[in-house]
Structure 1
Amino acid sequence: MSDSTPLGEFLRARREALKPQDVGLPEHGRRRVPGLRREEVAMLAGVSADYYMRLEQGRESSPSPQVIGAVADALHLDDEATDHLRRLTRAPQERRTLPAGHDQVAPQLLRLLDSWPDTPAFVVGPALDILACNALASALHSGFQRFDNLARMVFVDPEGRDFYQDWDNAAQSCVAEIRAAYGHDPRSPRIIEVVETLSGKSPEFAELWARHHVKGKTRQAKNLKHARVGSLEIQFSAFTVNGAPHQQLVVYQAEPASPTAAAFAELRSPVDDREGEQDQRAAEWIQ
């Protein structure tokens, strides 16, 4: 039987990422499989090898919380990855599927975005689609072909590698964030569409997606480089939208009186039409 379920794919990827010495096991001779063997994970988790095999093959649909915790410990999963594992074991009827109109941003949130002229802010969906943004966020990302999907911008748009100064970290974060959203709704047509399209366009995306790393947006520093105003050092925070948990509000901030704050002020000033040209209504990037 093929390990083709989301749960099986996750367990296998995380098992193969570990080496025996990572979990205190001796390594004897040449191994035919990468990482740990199934029976080794089973032993570490205190379950039978047959039971663990059924988990990876999707034939065990309702593991107990104790088993989930034991498997998470055996695979050295952090809190976010453990939560992801729990979500993957849920029955379909228990999942948070996206309702109709999930990509619509509430009018109150749109007004909030526009009330922050000094702060770039935007709303993203679970597949990192840009659902709404204020004027400064649009100006900040004006070098991209389209300000439409953060993952597309990082992996496919030529501007991505210049704009994101720590490109590797930006790439890993994008994939881990989509993977976290995927755990809530593995059948999401939009997430599947984005993953399939980017996997076909970017081998780097495909490689990172296969690692099954999970991490949601929180807060951290970013180093960006805008073609007109130069290097930017920002802090960003992400907030779940009350009433729309599938949406996140992302806010970029600059230290007061810093070069980045001055750069934001310059971005707010009028820009030469030739410099600001971009076709925001171009054909959809997914064909």
Structure 2
Amino acid sequence: MELVRQSRRAYELGAFLRSRRTLLRPGEVGLSDEGVRRTSGLRREETARLAGVSEGYYVRLEQGRAPHPSASVLGALAGALRLSDAEREHLFALAEEVRPEPEPEVLASGVRRMMELLVPPTAAYVIDRRSDVLVWNDSAAALFGHLIDGPRRPNNVRYVFTDPQAKKIFVDWADIASDSVAHLRAATGHHPDDAELTALVADLHEVSPEFRRLWPARELRRKISGRKELNHPVAGRMSLDYEVLNAPQVPGQRLVAYAAAPGTRSHAALGRLLQGAEGPGRVRG
């Protein structure tokens, strides 16, 4: 089992390095891009030279055949490839230089209470690293149709890529889809051997051409706030601000809240949705 896990990590680490290398233009790192280049981005030998490692060793890293890279080598590679903070963390996680604590399957202590304290008609839910929705309030259920009790937990990424309603409700669906994949990809760095995560990715590959196109890019993205434009079938067009908070004590769980400024059309529309829900702000899930 350990051999399989390490092999998967080595493969993902190599694939991630390759994906970042091919996106980096020679001019961005002070190299000449003149002449014929048979590969996009940097060549392997150029990347190795910039990182101060041998070309042979770097090739073996991309092929998933190199010994466990040290923190200093990873840091050099991150610098050579101009990785962002999120990409650097992902690289180190794939190499197990940062070993995350196991994530329990139970809801973080106090999160349900945090949900109850939110002022209606704020819509809120809590997701885990797989984007499974663990708990949600009535406003969120009225806003997003997939938030219902059932034998399987609702999943935000599955909703985005498999529910036709998602393409109608998210005005900027392409951006939402890209962000969803980026969040899910980040989770694989810390948990490449997660059987449920692997099954989710396989299912989405099977049913969604858009997911199949986005997944290999290995983009990583973290958004903690922003605005989403929705075209709700009942409430109509809404502009909702959102905030993402990490749940206390449990890595990977995040509370996501949607709201609009009082007095705006979007706030009134969200309020009408809550009035039509089963209860005034009840938390369920």
**Band of TM-score, shorter chain:** 0.7 to 0.9
Deviation at 1:210, TM superposition (A): 0.6
* CA distance, structure 2, for counterparts of residue 58 and residue 217 of structure 1: 30
Deviation at 1:121, TM superposition (A): 0.5
Amino acid of the residue matched to residue 113 of structure 1? M
Amino acid of the residue matched to residue 109 of structure 1? V
CA contact (8 A) 1:98 1:188 kept: no
Tell me which residue corresponds to 2:19: 13
From 116, 121, 126, the equivalent of 1:123 is 126
* CA distance, structure 1, for counterparts of residue 59 and residue 117 of structure 2: 54
From 101, 108, 111, the equivalent of 1:109 is 111
Deviation at 1:105, TM superposition (A): 2.1
Deviation at 1:19, TM superposition (A): 3.1
Deviation at 1:95, TM superposition (A): 4.2
Tell me which residue corresponds to 2:90: 84
Q: CA RMSD in A?
A: 2.7
* CA distance, structure 2, for counterparts of residue 108 and residue 145 of structure 1: 22
Deviation at 1:62, TM superposition (A): 3.5
From 165, 190, 193, the equivalent of 1:159 is 165
Gaps of 5+ in 2: 1-6, 279-285
**1:133 partnered with 2:136:** yes
* CA distance, structure 1, for counterparts of residue 140 and residue 262 of structure 2: 18
Q: TM-score, normalised by structure 1?
A: 0.84
Deviation at 1:71, TM superposition (A): 1.0
Percent identity over the alignment? 38
* CA distance, structure 1, for counterparts of residue 160 and residue 185 of structure 2: 16
1:5-56 superposed Cα distances (whole Å, 9 cap, x missing partner): 1111111111122333343322344433333221111112122111212322
Tell me which residue corresponds to 2:281: none
CA contact (8 A) 1:177 1:217 kept: no
From 28, 31, 40, the equivalent of 1:25 is 31
1:138-185 superposed Cα distances (whole Å, 9 cap, x missing partner): 001137899811111111110111211111211111011111111111
Distance 1:234 1:195, change over 3 A: same
Which aligned pairs between 1:184-203 and structure 2 lie closer than 5 A? 184-203=190-209
Amino acid of the residue matched to residue 37 of structure 1? R
Structure with higher RCO (Cα < 8 A, 6+ apart): 2
Deviation at 1:91, TM superposition (A): 6.2
Deviation at 1:114, TM superposition (A): 3.6
Local SS of the residue matching 1:244: coil
Q: TM-score, normalised by structure 2?
A: 0.85
**1:149 partnered with 2:155:** yes
* CA distance, structure 2, for counterparts of residue 236 and residue 216 of structure 1: 13
* CA distance, structure 1, for counterparts of residue 191 and residue 146 of structure 2: 32
1:95-153 superposed Cα distances (whole Å, 9 cap, x missing partner): 44444xx1x32574224324433210001111111111000000011378998111111
Tell me which residue corresponds to 1:280: none
Local SS of the residue matching 2:252: strand
Which aligned pairs between 1:227-242 and structure 2 lie closer than 5 A? 227-242=233-248
Tell me which residue corresponds to 2:254: 248
Tell me which residue corresponds to 2:55: 49
Instruction: Provide the aligned length of Structure 1 versus Structure 2.
Output: 269
